Structure formats: structure tokens, C-alpha cells
């Protein structure tokens, strides 16, 4: 166990935004929320998942909805206690600790704010190793874990608890309520014991986020070419370097849908690229040829600072590096590809690993 304070939080937010693959919401508001909670209640204890007792009751906390709405709507602070009360009353169990559900910008910070306010430790694991747009898209679904009973509350105080027959039904019903509540809500789902966390969770995701954040922050202080330093630290594959020439974005069904079009710069001058997204970046093409697809991570980062650019922050004229990162190994299993592969999102292509796609192999 170790403690997470303000400085660590800065690096975690930065690294998690990269792992969010464009989604999970802008970390800025979530970071301020978590910092305020830590200043008021003290640092958060981070626990290695292997140190969690098998019978411990672990509860993930997250925000659900379109990232753009999350940024504008926020929370009022009472959601943490309401979710705690919903879960502890329904299960009749004492909560051992909390856990993030994904490594996205806002959702990497939300559980820290909850843990600080509730005085509970945070387990260093999640269910994605990145961010995905739908609730059933977690490694726990592959392991047969139910998303429900699931607690949901909005900033006005409306609350609900779901019990569904499949995790896909959880997504459908909770998304409908999210829309009725203004497009963003706070949720707790996939409540589980410590043994399940260790068996199916993506371990040490907070630690990895922190390490990536430190690397991004220090990339220009190291010897060598900054871009090469960044790619080495992130274990990323360079897909394109360009300027945003067009951005199409719309909110549908509590999701951000869109497409960013890029004009090549530097060695890519005269070439074009496009990145399509549903909250998270799903497919990247260069000159019309696919270079990366979900479940591998497609990330846009500033060409000078290497700070990740979420989908809701993409702007015309922004110069970015498009980078592909390998996804968590479980997503490459047949069950993982069926759950989050390109065909699920309507793309007529099979999944091919980014290390092959990025080099032109198809």
C-alpha cells in the first residue's frame, strides 16, 4: 500500500488521458475534484490488487455519459455518499475499497475523489486498461461477471438500481436513464470480491498511468529526440503526424461521435489521415488504408508537448502525432474481439494488431 497525493495525481491524470484513447472525458475537472477531496480529507491509499483479500468487497465508481456533457455538467459532490449507501444497503456488506472502471481522463480521477471523501482505499486495477464507450466492454464481462446490481445517481439526487439479465441490457437501460438525467450520471457497477479483481482485472493500471504521466512530463528533459523518447516510453507505434483540417462531432444517445481529418506535415506532407471515434478513437486510416483499430489504442498527442488530446478537445489547426498502443492482452482473445473489435462498431474489417497494421501489414 502507498499513498497518492496531489503530485502523484497530476501524473496519473496525464498518463490515464493517454490510455483513454481519446475518451473518458477531459481530466481537468475530474482532477480538480480529486485534488479538492484530497486536500480536504487527506491522501488516498492505493492497494496492489494481489494484496486484496479474496473475500473483500470491492466497488468500482465511474461517470457515465458523453464526455462533452461531463465537462459541462459535472457533479454536486453528494453522489459519492448516495452510491455508497445504495451499494452497502443492497448488498448488506461492508465496502473494503473502491476501484476505477477505466483508464480514461475524467474516470481516472473520479474514483480518487470518491475514495478520499469516503475514507476508503483504492485498488490499483480496472476493467479495461484503456477506455471504451459502453458498460459491457470490460474484461469482467469476458469472465462472466455481472454488471448488476448497478447503482446510478445524478447531481439532482435522483437514484436507481438495476438488475439486468445481461451486461448489454445494463448498457441499454442505464443509457436511457442517463439521457433522461441530462446525458451524464454517476454509477457503481461490477461490484465484486477480491478474488475476481485478481482473476479478471487489469492490474496496476494506476501505477502504469503514473509512470506514463511522468514520462510525458519529462520527455524533453532527456537526451535524444523528444518524439523518439515519447514513443519509447509509451511503447507506441507512430501512425501519422499532421494538422487537424476538419473535425466533425455530434452527441447522439449520450455518446460523442465524430471524425477528425488531418493533413500531413513533416515527412507526411502531401498525405492525409482520419481518426473516427465514439467517445474513444476507434479507427485510424492513412491515405485511405487502415493503420489501427479498436481494441488497440489510437491516441492523438500534441507534437510539441506530447500531452494527449481527448476527442472533445480536438480543434481545427491543432498539430498532433497519431500513435497506436497495444491493448491489454485479454482484448485480443476471440471473446474480446467480439466484444470490442472493429466489427462491433460497424467497421467491415477484421482486427489486426497495431504492430502489424502500423507497418502496412494487412
pLDDT for residue 248? 93
What digits encode the pLDDT tens for the residues 78-87? 999 999 999 9
Q: 150 — phi, psi (to 5°)?
A: -120, 130
Contact 294, 345 (CB under 8 A): yes
> Could you tell me which residue, 29 or 217, shows the higher pLDDT?
217
Mean pLDDT of the chain: 93
Q: Which domains does the chain have, with CATH numbers?
A: 2-205 (3.40.1610.10), 228-357 (no CATH)
Whether the bond into 295 is cis, omega within 30 of 0: yes
Q: What percent of the chain shows pLDDT beyond 90? A: 84
H/E run at residue 127: none
pLDDT for residue 359? 85
What digits encode the pLDDT tens for the residues 246-299? 999 888 776 889 999 999 999 999 999 999 999 899 999 999 999 999 999 999
Is pLDDT above 90 for 43? yes
Is pLDDT above 70 for 171? yes
H/E run at residue 106: helix 105-118
pLDDT for residue 105? 79
The pTM of the full predicted model, rounded to 2 decimals, is 0.93
3-state secondary structure of 259: strand
Is pLDDT above 90 for 23? no
- Mean pLDDT value of segment 114-120: 97
Give the cell for residue 126. 480496472
Partners of 302 in the beta sheet? 320
What digits encode the pLDDT tens for the residues 175-222? 999 999 988 899 999 999 999 999 999 999 999 999 999 999 998 888
pLDDT for residue 67? 67
What digits encode the pLDDT tens for the residues 57-85? 999 999 998 766 766 777 778 999 999 99
Burial of 78 per CB tally in 10 Å (0-12, 13-18, 19+): middle
Q: In this predicted structure, which of 31-35, 116-120, 239-243, 272-276 has the lowest mean pLDDT?
A: 31-35
Q: How many CA atoms lie within 13 A of 244 on its CB side?
A: 21
C-alpha separations of 217 from 8, 230, 245, 280 in Å: 12, 10, 27, 23
Contact 22, 311 (CB under 8 A): yes
Instruction: Report the alpha-carbon distance of residue 52 to residue 33 in Å, rounded.
Output: 26
Amino acid at each position: 500500500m502507498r499513498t497518492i497525493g496531489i503530485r502523484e495525481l497530476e501524473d496519473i491524470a496525464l498518463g490515464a488521458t493517454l490510455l483513454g484513447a481519446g475518451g473518458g472525458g477531459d481530466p481537468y475537472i475530474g482532477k480538480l475534484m480529486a485534488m479538492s477531496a484530497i486536500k480536504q480529507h487527506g491522501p488516498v491509499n492505493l492497494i496492489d490488487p494481489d494484496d486484496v483479500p479474496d473475500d473483500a468487497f470491492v466497488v468500482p465508481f465511474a461517470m457515465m455519459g458523453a464526455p462533452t456533457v461531463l465537462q459541462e455538467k459535472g457533479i454536486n459532490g453528494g453522489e459519492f455518499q448516495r452510491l455508497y449507501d445504495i451499494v452497502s444497503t443492497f448488498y448488506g456488506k461492508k465496502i473494503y475499497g473502491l476501484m476505477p472502471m477505466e483508464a480514461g481522463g475524467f474516470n481516472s480521477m473520479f474514483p480518487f475523489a470518491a475514495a478520499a471523501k469516503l475514507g476508503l482505499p483504492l485498488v490499483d486495477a480496472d476493467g479495461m486498461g484503456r477506455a471504451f464507450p459502453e458498460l459491457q466492454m470490460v474484461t469482467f464481462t469476458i469472465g462472466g461477471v455481472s454488471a448488476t446490481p448497478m447503482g446510478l445517481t445524478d447531481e439532482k439526487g435522483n437514484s436507481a438500481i438495476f438488475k439486468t439479465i445481461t451486461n448489454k441490457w445494463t448498457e441499454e437501460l442505464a443509457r436511457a436513464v442517463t439521457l433522461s438525467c441530462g446525458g451524464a450520471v454517476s454509477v457503481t457497477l461490477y461490484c465484486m470480491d477480491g478474488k475476481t479483481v485478481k482473476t479478471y482485472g487489469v492490474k496496476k493500471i494506476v501505477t502504469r498511468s503514473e509512470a506514463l504521466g511522468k514520462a510525458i512530463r519529462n520527455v524533453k528533459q532527456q537526451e535524444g529526440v523528444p518524439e523518439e523518447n515519447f514513443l519509447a516510453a509509451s511503447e507506441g507505434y507512430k501512425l501519422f503526424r499532421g494538422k487537424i483540417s476538419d473535425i466533425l462531432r455530434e452527441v447522439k444517445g449520450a455518446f460523442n461521435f465524430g471524425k477528425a481529418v488531418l493533413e500531413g506535415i513533416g515527412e507526411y506532407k502531401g498525405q492525409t489521415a482520419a481518426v473516427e471515434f465514439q467517445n474513444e478513437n476507434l479507427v485510424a486510416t492513412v491515405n485511405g488504408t487502415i493503420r489501427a483499430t479498436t481494441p488497440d489504442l489510437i491516441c492523438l498527442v500534441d507534437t510539441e508537448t506530447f500531452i494527449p488530446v481527448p476527442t472533445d478537445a480536438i480543434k481545427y489547426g491543432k498539430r498532433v502525432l497519431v500513435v497506436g498502443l497495444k491493448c491489454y492482452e485479454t482484448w485480443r482473445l476471440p471473446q474480446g474481439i467480439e466484444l470490442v473489435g472493429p466489427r462491433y462498431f460497424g467497421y467491415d474489417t477484421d482486427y489486426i494488431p497495431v504492430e502489424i497494421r502500423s507497418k502496412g501489414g494487412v
